[in-house]
Every structure is written in C-alpha cells, then in structure tokens.
Structure 1
Amino acid sequence: MAQNHSFDIVSEINFQEVDNAVNQAVKEIRQRYDLKDSHTEIELNKKEKFLTINTKDEYTRKQSIDILESKFIKRGIPLKALKFEEPQPAASGRIKQKVVLQSGISKDNAKLIIKMIKDSKLKVNTQIQDEQIRVTAPKIDNLQSVIKLIKDADLDFPVQFTNYK
C-alpha cells in the first residue's frame, strides 16, 4: 500500500524571544534622549497572548512601536504576528495600545487556508487539529505545491510548516 506523506501548517511564535524583544525595547526607550521622560511601559501578558504599550503621546507611541518591531525582527519573530488594536486614551492624558500576538491558527484562518487548498484542486487531504492544519497526500509533489500555494498567498498572519514526513 502506498504511504501517505504529511506536514502541519502552524502559526507559532517563541514567547521567550518576545519577552527578550520587549525587555530590549523598553531598555532602549528608557535610554533614548527624546523618549526617556515618556515613562513608556510595554507589558507582555504571555497567558492571554498580548502586549500593552502605555506612553505619553502619539510621537512616543509611534517611536516605541518602531523600536519594538526592530527588536522583533532581530529575534526572528514575524511582524505579521502583531495585530495592533486602536490606541485608547489612558489616565493622565496618556495613550494605551493593545497588541495581540497571533499564535496558533484561528478557526476562521484555518477555514480560509483549507478553502484555498481545496480551490487549488490539488489531491491532498486537510484536517484541523487544535490550532494547526495537517495536510496529507500520497505524493510529495502535491505537498510541495501546497506549501508554495500558502507561501505565495500573503496571509496576514505568520505560518510555518512542521513535521514534514
């Protein structure tokens, strides 16, 4: 009997690297002459998977995000993992912004990927498993075509391919 080949489509971020990036960003913000008096705070909530930026004004908010993004890039964390919510007013005229860290493939995003694969007419099977998608096929070529399809799709969340068998 022919053996099936498979791989998983996942969306993962390394929270230890996120933590390191946040700490480096806060350190740089506190040292920069134009930002050090802003009392900017960036807090990471690992359990709920989000960051909160609390700063003095719009200028320091934008500068803080630039610094944070540069630290993420240096640590290999995809910027697509960051989903910025609208900035909100905070106490004492400050600005607060929540940044959701997309980790795991949501049900809606999983349906989107599966529809793309089905529409491609490639002879593969897909199955949602928790926050990832298992793709199986008798031919490795079909799996490679699926990987190319997903990579070329320019999704607004990061994806990786694991457990290639």
Structure 2
Amino acid sequence: MPSFDVVSEVDEVEVRNAVDQCNKEVTNRYDFKGSDARVEQSEKVLTVFADSDFQLDQVKDVLLTKLAKRNVDVRCLDYGEVGKVSGNKVKQVITVKVGVETELAKKIVRLIKDSKLKVQAAIQGDAVRITGAKRDNLQEAIALIRKSITDFPLQYQNFRD
C-alpha cells in the first residue's frame, strides 16, 4: 500500500553556515563598527544581540538573507520577545521550529478526512503518515496540503509504493 510522510525539517548545517556568514558580514560592515552586534546559535535556538532596536532589525535582515540564500525556509523561524540586556543593548531569541506540531498535524488529518479522498492520515510523532490504495490519490493529497497550508514549511518524504 503506497504511503508518504509529511514532515518539517531544517538542514542544521545550512543554518550554522548562514549564522557564520551573517556574523562575518556584520563584523565587516561599517555601520556596525565598535558595536556588539552578533548572532549566537545553540542547538535550534538563535540569539541576536545588538546595541539598539534598529541594529537588531539590521542584523535580523542580514540573517534572513543568508538563510534564504542557503535554501532554509524562513517560515520555520519563531521570533521571541525583544529584551534589554544591559544599558541600551538588546537581544532577541529566534527558535528554529522542526517537526510537525500536534495542532498542525491535527489540522492536516482533518483536512484529509474532510476532502473525501480515498487516503488515510495518521499522526506518528512529529510527522503525519498518509496511506492510500493508489499513487494518484496520494498525489492529490499532496496537492491539497500544498494548496491549503501555506504558513508553515512542509516536506513530503519517504514515498513508498
């Protein structure tokens, strides 16, 4: 019975490379001379430091540009609150979301069931497995999910006949 998985993954190596490139550009830019603007990464959490809110926005813009050039979907980023560190310095925590959250998984399952396609959807951890009798039905399910869910990056993997 053919099946595939709906997942949401981010290439951590590309994220690391984008952070490194962002830090390199920020240290070399004239408008950041003498400032403490940088991006730090620990696991799936990016922390952006800057001297002011304006510089924070500039560093985030550089980071998003570098991520986009490395084919990392920026819709997987979850922005936290902007907080004061000391004096006028500010920081913001950005979380890289990986995996299909349970709320989104339930939305996908409900979408598949309401569509009356001849496929079944089941939540398996941080992925959704969709099975069907025919390959064409699975391709219709992929097209339906792509059309309906546009606010979160999804990949379709593990396609089996």
- The answer, yes or no, to whether TM exceeds 0.5 is yes
Q: Which residue of 2 aligns with 1:95?
A: 90
Structure 2 residue 45 is matched with structure 1 residue 44:
no
Alignment CA distance shift 1:54-1:84 (3 Å): same
Identity of aligned residues (%): 39
Asked if the contact 1:52–1:98 (Cα under 8 Å) also holds between the matched residues in 2, the reply is yes
Asked if the contact 2:26–2:32 (Cα under 8 Å) also holds between the matched residues in 1, the reply is yes
Question: What amino acid maps onto 1:16 in structure 2?
Answer: V
Question: What amino acid maps onto 2:103 in structure 1?
Answer: D
What 5-or-longer segments of structure 1 have no aligned partner?
none
Match of 2:73 among 69, 75, 78: 78
Aligned residues: 160
Match of 1:138 among 128, 133, 136: 133
Aligned-pair CA distance for 1:77 = 0.4
Q: Which residue of 1 aligns with 2:25?
A: 28
TM-score, with structure 2 as normaliser: 0.94
Aligned-pair CA distance for 1:38 = 2.3
Report SS of the residue matched to 1:87. strand
Asked if the contact 2:83–2:90 (Cα under 8 Å) also holds between the matched residues in 1, the reply is yes
Structure 1 residue runs of 4 or more that deviate by more than 6 Å after TM superposition: none
State the superposition RMSD in angstroms: 1.1
What 5-or-longer segments of structure 2 have no aligned partner?
none
Asked if the contact 1:38–1:60 (Cα under 8 Å) also holds between the matched residues in 2, the reply is no
